[in-house]
Amino acid sequence: MIAKGDAVVQSVTVSRGGNRWYASVLAKVDQTIPDKPTRAQSARGTVGVDWGIRHLVTLSQPLDPATDRPVDLLDPADLRVANPRYLDKWTRRLAKAQRALARTEKGSKRRAKAARRVGVIQHRIAEQRATAVHLLSKRLATKFATVAIEDLNVRGMSASARGTLEQPGHQVRQKAGHNRAVLDAAPGELRRQLGYKTSWYGSTLAAVDRWYPSSKTCSSCGTAIPKLPRDQRVFHCTACGLAIDRDYNAAVNIARHAVPLVERDVKARGSPVRPASDGRHGRAGRQKREDPPTVGGPPRQEQSTDNPTHRQLHSESRKRKARTSMQLTKGPLQAHRG
Protein backbone atom coordinates (compact mmCIF):
# COMPACT_ATOMS: atom_id res chain seq x y z
CA MET A 1 0.00 0.00 0.00
CA ILE A 2 2.91 2.34 0.67
CA ALA A 3 4.46 1.56 -2.72
CA LYS A 4 1.17 2.30 -4.46
CA GLY A 5 0.71 5.56 -2.56
CA ASP A 6 -2.40 4.37 -0.69
CA ALA A 7 -0.73 4.66 2.72
CA VAL A 8 1.62 7.16 4.35
CA VAL A 9 3.60 6.26 7.46
CA GLN A 10 3.09 8.86 10.18
CA SER A 11 5.22 7.48 13.01
CA VAL A 12 6.87 4.34 14.38
CA THR A 13 6.79 3.67 18.12
CA VAL A 14 9.20 1.12 19.59
CA SER A 15 8.24 -0.39 22.95
CA ARG A 16 9.21 -3.34 25.10
CA GLY A 17 6.83 -5.78 26.74
CA GLY A 18 8.16 -8.68 28.79
CA ASN A 19 11.23 -9.91 26.91
CA ARG A 20 10.06 -8.80 23.46
CA TRP A 21 10.40 -5.65 21.42
CA TYR A 22 7.46 -4.23 19.45
CA ALA A 23 7.34 -1.69 16.64
CA SER A 24 3.95 0.00 16.23
CA VAL A 25 3.61 1.65 12.82
CA LEU A 26 1.00 4.39 12.52
CA ALA A 27 -0.05 4.91 8.90
CA LYS A 28 -2.59 7.13 7.22
CA VAL A 29 -4.67 4.99 4.88
CA ASP A 30 -7.46 6.00 2.52
CA GLN A 31 -10.15 3.39 3.02
CA THR A 32 -13.88 3.29 2.44
CA ILE A 33 -15.82 2.25 5.55
CA PRO A 34 -19.11 0.52 4.68
CA ASP A 35 -22.27 2.12 6.01
CA LYS A 36 -24.37 -1.05 5.79
CA PRO A 37 -23.76 -4.78 6.17
CA THR A 38 -22.91 -7.03 3.26
CA ARG A 39 -25.29 -9.59 1.79
CA ALA A 40 -23.66 -12.38 3.74
CA GLN A 41 -24.01 -10.41 6.99
CA SER A 42 -27.63 -9.54 6.24
CA ALA A 43 -28.38 -13.21 5.55
CA ARG A 44 -27.05 -14.20 8.98
CA GLY A 45 -29.01 -11.40 10.70
CA THR A 46 -28.66 -10.87 14.46
CA VAL A 47 -26.60 -12.99 16.83
CA GLY A 48 -27.09 -12.95 20.59
CA VAL A 49 -23.91 -13.22 22.67
CA ASP A 50 -24.20 -14.51 26.23
CA TRP A 51 -20.88 -14.04 28.01
CA GLY A 52 -19.83 -16.45 30.74
CA ILE A 53 -16.98 -18.06 32.65
CA ARG A 54 -17.69 -21.75 32.02
CA HIS A 55 -17.84 -20.91 28.30
CA LEU A 56 -16.45 -17.67 26.98
CA VAL A 57 -19.59 -16.92 24.95
CA THR A 58 -22.71 -18.81 23.96
CA LEU A 59 -24.33 -17.69 20.70
CA SER A 60 -27.89 -17.79 19.46
CA GLN A 61 -26.59 -19.17 16.13
CA PRO A 62 -23.24 -20.74 15.23
CA LEU A 63 -20.33 -18.74 13.92
CA ASP A 64 -19.69 -21.09 10.99
CA PRO A 65 -22.82 -23.03 10.04
CA ALA A 66 -21.60 -26.26 8.42
CA THR A 67 -25.03 -27.81 8.06
CA ASP A 68 -28.51 -26.82 6.99
CA ARG A 69 -30.13 -28.25 10.11
CA PRO A 70 -32.17 -25.82 12.23
CA VAL A 71 -30.54 -24.30 15.26
CA ASP A 72 -32.70 -26.32 17.66
CA LEU A 73 -31.18 -29.57 16.36
CA LEU A 74 -27.56 -28.44 16.51
CA ASP A 75 -25.09 -29.71 19.06
CA PRO A 76 -24.72 -27.19 21.93
CA ALA A 77 -20.96 -27.29 21.37
CA ASP A 78 -21.50 -25.63 17.96
CA LEU A 79 -23.02 -22.60 19.71
CA ARG A 80 -20.26 -22.16 22.28
CA VAL A 81 -16.80 -20.66 22.24
CA ALA A 82 -14.53 -22.28 24.79
CA ASN A 83 -12.93 -20.17 27.49
CA PRO A 84 -9.15 -20.54 27.05
CA ARG A 85 -8.43 -19.72 30.72
CA TYR A 86 -4.88 -18.60 30.10
CA LEU A 87 -4.38 -17.49 33.68
CA ASP A 88 -5.10 -21.00 34.97
CA LYS A 89 -2.60 -22.50 32.51
CA TRP A 90 0.18 -20.26 33.79
CA THR A 91 -0.79 -20.26 37.49
CA ARG A 92 1.88 -22.69 38.69
CA ARG A 93 4.75 -21.00 36.83
CA LEU A 94 3.55 -17.55 37.84
CA ALA A 95 3.21 -18.51 41.51
CA LYS A 96 6.68 -20.08 41.49
CA ALA A 97 8.20 -16.96 39.94
CA GLN A 98 6.41 -14.69 42.41
CA ARG A 99 7.63 -16.75 45.38
CA ALA A 100 11.17 -16.54 44.05
CA LEU A 101 10.76 -12.78 43.75
CA ALA A 102 9.51 -12.49 47.33
CA ARG A 103 12.64 -14.28 48.65
CA THR A 104 15.08 -11.86 47.05
CA GLU A 105 16.58 -8.81 48.70
CA LYS A 106 15.34 -5.38 47.67
CA GLY A 107 17.71 -3.55 45.39
CA SER A 108 19.72 -6.64 44.45
CA LYS A 109 20.47 -7.87 40.93
CA ARG A 110 18.73 -11.17 41.60
CA ARG A 111 15.57 -9.29 42.51
CA ALA A 112 15.67 -7.42 39.22
CA LYS A 113 16.16 -10.69 37.36
CA ALA A 114 13.28 -12.33 39.24
CA ALA A 115 11.03 -9.33 38.54
CA ARG A 116 11.80 -9.62 34.83
CA ARG A 117 10.86 -13.29 34.95
CA VAL A 118 7.48 -12.44 36.53
CA GLY A 119 6.94 -9.70 33.96
CA VAL A 120 7.62 -12.10 31.08
CA ILE A 121 4.96 -14.54 32.31
CA GLN A 122 2.36 -11.84 32.90
CA HIS A 123 3.06 -10.36 29.48
CA ARG A 124 2.53 -13.72 27.78
CA ILE A 125 -0.78 -14.17 29.57
CA ALA A 126 -1.94 -10.72 28.49
CA GLU A 127 -0.88 -11.27 24.87
CA GLN A 128 -2.62 -14.64 24.62
CA ARG A 129 -5.80 -13.22 26.14
CA ALA A 130 -5.76 -10.23 23.78
CA THR A 131 -5.26 -12.48 20.76
CA ALA A 132 -8.25 -14.66 21.66
CA VAL A 133 -10.51 -11.64 22.20
CA HIS A 134 -9.39 -10.02 18.93
CA LEU A 135 -10.12 -13.17 16.93
CA LEU A 136 -13.57 -13.58 18.46
CA SER A 137 -14.59 -9.93 18.13
CA LYS A 138 -13.56 -9.79 14.46
CA ARG A 139 -15.47 -12.96 13.58
CA LEU A 140 -18.59 -11.62 15.26
CA ALA A 141 -18.31 -8.22 13.57
CA THR A 142 -17.69 -9.63 10.08
CA LYS A 143 -20.19 -12.51 10.01
CA PHE A 144 -23.38 -10.89 11.34
CA ALA A 145 -25.34 -7.74 10.62
CA THR A 146 -26.08 -7.07 14.31
CA VAL A 147 -24.17 -8.25 17.37
CA ALA A 148 -26.32 -8.23 20.50
CA ILE A 149 -24.61 -8.30 23.90
CA GLU A 150 -25.37 -7.67 27.56
CA ASP A 151 -24.57 -4.38 29.26
CA LEU A 152 -22.47 -5.95 32.02
CA ASN A 153 -21.22 -4.14 35.10
CA VAL A 154 -17.70 -5.60 35.11
CA ARG A 155 -16.52 -3.44 38.02
CA GLY A 156 -19.38 -4.65 40.18
CA MET A 157 -18.91 -8.27 39.11
CA SER A 158 -15.23 -8.21 40.06
CA ALA A 159 -15.57 -6.20 43.29
CA SER A 160 -13.94 -7.55 46.44
CA ALA A 161 -16.06 -9.27 49.10
CA ARG A 162 -13.58 -8.64 51.91
CA GLY A 163 -15.77 -6.09 53.67
CA THR A 164 -14.65 -4.14 56.74
CA LEU A 165 -13.60 -4.97 60.29
CA GLU A 166 -17.08 -4.14 61.56
CA GLN A 167 -18.84 -6.05 58.78
CA PRO A 168 -16.48 -8.68 57.33
CA GLY A 169 -17.44 -10.35 54.06
CA HIS A 170 -18.48 -13.95 53.47
CA GLN A 171 -16.75 -16.49 51.22
CA VAL A 172 -13.94 -14.06 50.47
CA ARG A 173 -11.61 -16.66 48.93
CA GLN A 174 -14.34 -18.01 46.65
CA LYS A 175 -15.23 -14.49 45.52
CA ALA A 176 -11.57 -13.69 44.86
CA GLY A 177 -11.29 -16.75 42.60
CA HIS A 178 -14.47 -15.70 40.83
CA ASN A 179 -13.06 -12.19 40.31
CA ARG A 180 -9.89 -13.60 38.76
CA ALA A 181 -11.96 -15.75 36.40
CA VAL A 182 -14.08 -12.77 35.37
CA LEU A 183 -11.08 -10.57 34.62
CA ASP A 184 -9.31 -13.40 32.80
CA ALA A 185 -12.26 -13.75 30.42
CA ALA A 186 -12.08 -9.97 29.69
CA PRO A 187 -15.76 -9.06 29.08
CA GLY A 188 -15.01 -5.34 29.08
CA GLU A 189 -12.33 -5.71 26.41
CA LEU A 190 -14.69 -7.75 24.23
CA ARG A 191 -17.32 -5.02 24.52
CA ARG A 192 -14.76 -2.31 23.68
CA GLN A 193 -13.47 -4.10 20.60
CA LEU A 194 -16.97 -4.84 19.31
CA GLY A 195 -17.77 -1.14 19.69
CA TYR A 196 -15.31 -0.04 17.00
CA LYS A 197 -15.01 -3.19 14.88
CA THR A 198 -18.72 -3.24 14.10
CA SER A 199 -18.36 0.29 12.69
CA TRP A 200 -15.40 -0.86 10.58
CA TYR A 201 -17.23 -3.76 8.93
CA GLY A 202 -20.70 -2.30 8.46
CA SER A 203 -22.41 -4.19 11.28
CA THR A 204 -24.27 -2.82 14.31
CA LEU A 205 -23.71 -3.29 18.03
CA ALA A 206 -26.82 -3.73 20.19
CA ALA A 207 -27.21 -4.27 23.92
CA VAL A 208 -29.88 -5.19 26.43
CA ASP A 209 -30.34 -3.49 29.76
CA ARG A 210 -28.15 -4.93 32.50
CA TRP A 211 -31.21 -5.56 34.69
CA TYR A 212 -33.03 -7.61 32.04
CA PRO A 213 -33.31 -11.24 33.31
CA SER A 214 -32.13 -12.92 30.12
CA SER A 215 -31.30 -16.22 31.86
CA LYS A 216 -34.55 -16.38 33.85
CA THR A 217 -36.91 -15.59 30.97
CA CYS A 218 -38.29 -18.29 28.71
CA SER A 219 -37.31 -17.71 25.09
CA SER A 220 -40.48 -19.48 23.90
CA CYS A 221 -43.35 -17.94 25.87
CA GLY A 222 -41.65 -15.06 27.72
CA THR A 223 -42.41 -16.28 31.24
CA ALA A 224 -39.85 -15.26 33.88
CA ILE A 225 -39.08 -17.56 36.79
CA PRO A 226 -38.15 -16.05 40.18
CA LYS A 227 -34.92 -17.98 40.82
CA LEU A 228 -32.32 -19.81 38.77
CA PRO A 229 -29.32 -21.15 40.73
CA ARG A 230 -25.91 -20.99 39.10
CA ASP A 231 -25.42 -24.76 39.24
CA GLN A 232 -28.66 -25.35 37.31
CA ARG A 233 -27.47 -25.49 33.71
CA VAL A 234 -30.86 -26.32 32.15
CA PHE A 235 -33.73 -23.84 32.10
CA HIS A 236 -37.15 -25.36 32.81
CA CYS A 237 -40.17 -23.19 32.02
CA THR A 238 -43.08 -23.68 34.40
CA ALA A 239 -45.60 -22.29 31.91
CA CYS A 240 -44.90 -24.04 28.58
CA GLY A 241 -42.64 -26.84 29.82
CA LEU A 242 -39.62 -25.83 27.72
CA ALA A 243 -36.31 -27.44 28.74
CA ILE A 244 -33.31 -25.72 27.19
CA ASP A 245 -29.70 -24.89 27.97
CA ARG A 246 -29.68 -21.77 30.14
CA ASP A 247 -26.88 -20.04 28.23
CA TYR A 248 -28.48 -20.65 24.84
CA ASN A 249 -31.82 -19.46 26.24
CA ALA A 250 -30.15 -16.25 27.41
CA ALA A 251 -28.47 -15.74 24.02
CA VAL A 252 -31.82 -16.01 22.22
CA ASN A 253 -33.40 -13.48 24.60
CA ILE A 254 -30.48 -11.09 24.12
CA ALA A 255 -30.83 -11.30 20.34
CA ARG A 256 -34.57 -10.50 20.55
CA HIS A 257 -34.52 -7.68 23.07
CA ALA A 258 -31.27 -5.88 22.25
CA VAL A 259 -31.45 -2.23 21.22
CA PRO A 260 -28.83 -0.81 18.79
CA LEU A 261 -26.29 1.46 20.45
CA VAL A 262 -25.28 4.87 19.17
CA GLU A 263 -21.51 4.73 19.52
CA ARG A 264 -19.32 7.82 19.50
CA ASP A 265 -16.61 8.35 16.91
CA VAL A 266 -13.62 6.18 17.69
CA LYS A 267 -10.01 6.19 16.76
CA ALA A 268 -8.27 3.28 15.11
CA ARG A 269 -7.60 1.70 18.50
CA GLY A 270 -11.18 2.20 19.62
CA SER A 271 -10.80 4.93 22.23
CA PRO A 272 -13.29 7.82 22.19
CA VAL A 273 -12.15 10.91 20.37
CA ARG A 274 -11.65 13.88 22.67
CA PRO A 275 -12.90 17.16 21.22
CA ALA A 276 -10.23 19.69 20.33
CA SER A 277 -9.54 22.64 22.58
CA ASP A 278 -10.57 26.14 21.56
CA GLY A 279 -7.31 27.58 22.94
CA ARG A 280 -8.96 30.02 25.36
CA HIS A 281 -10.36 28.01 28.25
CA GLY A 282 -8.37 24.76 28.07
CA ARG A 283 -10.63 21.91 27.02
CA ALA A 284 -13.58 22.35 24.74
CA GLY A 285 -16.81 23.20 26.41
CA ARG A 286 -15.23 24.73 29.48
CA GLN A 287 -16.86 28.06 30.20
CA LYS A 288 -15.25 31.00 31.87
CA ARG A 289 -16.14 31.19 35.52
CA GLU A 290 -18.31 34.06 36.56
CA ASP A 291 -18.62 35.55 40.02
CA PRO A 292 -21.79 34.45 41.76
CA PRO A 293 -24.36 37.18 42.30
CA THR A 294 -24.28 38.83 45.69
CA VAL A 295 -27.32 38.44 47.90
CA GLY A 296 -28.19 41.04 50.51
CA GLY A 297 -25.16 43.21 49.94
CA PRO A 298 -23.65 45.76 47.61
CA PRO A 299 -22.44 44.57 44.22
CA ARG A 300 -18.80 43.74 43.83
CA GLN A 301 -16.55 46.56 42.75
CA GLU A 302 -13.99 46.18 40.02
CA GLN A 303 -10.49 46.03 41.47
CA SER A 304 -8.11 48.79 40.60
CA THR A 305 -5.32 47.97 38.22
CA ASP A 306 -2.88 50.22 40.14
CA ASN A 307 -2.32 47.71 42.95
CA PRO A 308 -1.49 44.14 41.82
CA THR A 309 -3.84 41.44 43.07
CA HIS A 310 -2.82 38.16 44.65
CA ARG A 311 -3.48 36.31 41.40
CA GLN A 312 -1.22 38.67 39.46
CA LEU A 313 1.55 38.34 42.04
CA HIS A 314 1.21 34.54 41.93
CA SER A 315 1.38 34.58 38.14
CA GLU A 316 4.51 36.72 38.18
CA SER A 317 6.10 34.39 40.73
CA ARG A 318 5.43 31.37 38.54
CA LYS A 319 6.93 33.12 35.52
CA ARG A 320 10.09 33.97 37.48
CA LYS A 321 10.43 30.36 38.62
CA ALA A 322 9.97 29.12 35.05
CA ARG A 323 12.62 31.54 33.76
CA THR A 324 15.00 30.46 36.52
CA SER A 325 14.57 26.76 35.74
CA MET A 326 15.07 27.41 32.04
CA GLN A 327 18.28 29.30 32.74
CA LEU A 328 19.56 26.49 34.97
CA THR A 329 18.98 23.78 32.35
CA LYS A 330 19.83 25.76 29.25
CA GLY A 331 23.57 25.93 29.81
CA PRO A 332 24.37 22.23 30.49
CA LEU A 333 22.15 21.05 27.64
CA GLN A 334 23.80 23.37 25.15
CA ALA A 335 27.25 22.41 26.42
CA HIS A 336 26.36 18.72 26.12
CA ARG A 337 25.02 19.14 22.59
CA GLY A 338 28.11 21.09 21.59
Sheet holding 80-82, edge to edge: 80-82, 55-59, 46-51, 146-150, 204-208, 259-260
d(C-alpha 217, C-alpha 48), whole Å: 15
Q: Do residues 191 and 254 lie in contact, with contact meaning Cβ atoms separated by under 8 Å? A: no
Give me the tens of pLDDT residue by residue for the chain, a chain 338 residues long.
Answer: 888 888 999 999 999 998 899 999 999 988 888 989 999 999 999 999 999 998 999 999 988 876 556 666 666 678 899 999 999 999 999 999 999 999 999 999 999 999 999 999 999 999 999 999 999 999 999 999 999 999 988 888 888 888 888 888 888 888 888 889 999 999 999 999 999 999 999 999 999 988 899 999 999 898 888 888 888 889 999 888 889 899 999 999 999 999 988 654 444 444 443 444 344 444 444 444 444 444 444 444 444 444 555 555 555 655 555 554 444 444 444 444 33
Give the whole-angstrom CA distance, residue 252 versus residue 279. 50
Positions marked active-site: 50, 150, 247
Q: Which residues contact 326 (CB under 8 A, 6 or more apart)?
A: none
**What does the radius of gyration of the chain's CA atoms come to, in whole angstroms?**
28
For the question of whether the overall pTM of this predicted structure is more than 0.85, the answer is: no
| Neighbouring C-alpha atoms within 13 Å toward the C-beta of 94 | 14
